[in-house]
Structure 1
Amino acid sequence: MKPVEADAVADERWPVSAKGVLAWDGRVVVLRNDRGEWELPGGRLEPSDASPQDALRREIGEELGLDAEIGTLLDSWIYDVEGKRVLIVTYACTASRPAVLSHSDEHTEVGLLTPAELADAPIPDGYLRSIESVAGE
């Protein structure tokens, strides 16, 4: 299999964002973005990322200060973010739970919420599907 060129995964015409479902004791890590929505940790693929999993590992490190293990692919879907279509891919993740969960300045808040608490919260449906698929395991 031929490797994908770095520019092919960082094409501005079709951004890709890798997100992770990271949970402890029935609660999922979510971050509040500047649009007031909860979202899963993760972010856009950069030219230096070898894969979506590498991008997600990097992003979880940047956003939460955690060293995550990236597991199985859960879902992929298209999200319209302020008029721009983004391909979202979600993965199950694991990491050691820190004594204090902190976040970078990319987000306004970090939460450790149950799927029931997120059901009525401002969060895209695609994230909820991924959360529910992990919660059902």
Structure 2
Amino acid sequence: MSDPRDPRDPRDSLVEFLCARWDERERVAKAAIQGPWRTGEAAEHLIDEVVYGTSPIRSTAIVQVANLEMAWNKRENAAHIVLNDPAYVLADIAAKRRMLDWIERTSAWAADNNLWTCDEAEPLRLLAKPYQEHPDYPKDQP
């Protein structure tokens, strides 16, 4: 995806940064108790403010993932955790990696065929936006 005229294309730093963030999230998601995650509201005998997942030992058993009984906004926080279970995070990362691959392939094809393309760095900046407060965010990016 680099511009052959520029030995260090700023897009490279964004790609490296994004891949590192996605690798981190992927490692964490794979290490977490697998889902589907659900709140106690899903079953009568469970506590509403607790998030449950599938036991790593017995797939028919459930285990606590997070207990929010003492938290503020218990139900909202529990719902947010459930919406970000490992399966969702892994699918989200896979989709973003495919999008990155598509951007790179499309840009390379356009360059090979002497076609004008839009600002190729913009979709990368948009993908990196949620991480802009990260200490490793590329300094050469707006």
Sort the TM-score into its range (normalised by shorter chain): under 0.3
Report the structure number with the largest CA radius of gyration.
2
Higher helix share: 2
Higher strand share: 1
Instruction: Give the TM-score, by structure 1 length.
Output: 0.21
Instruction: Give the TM-score, by structure 2 length.
Output: 0.20
- Pick 1 or 2: higher relative contact order, CA cutoff 8 A, min separation 6: 1
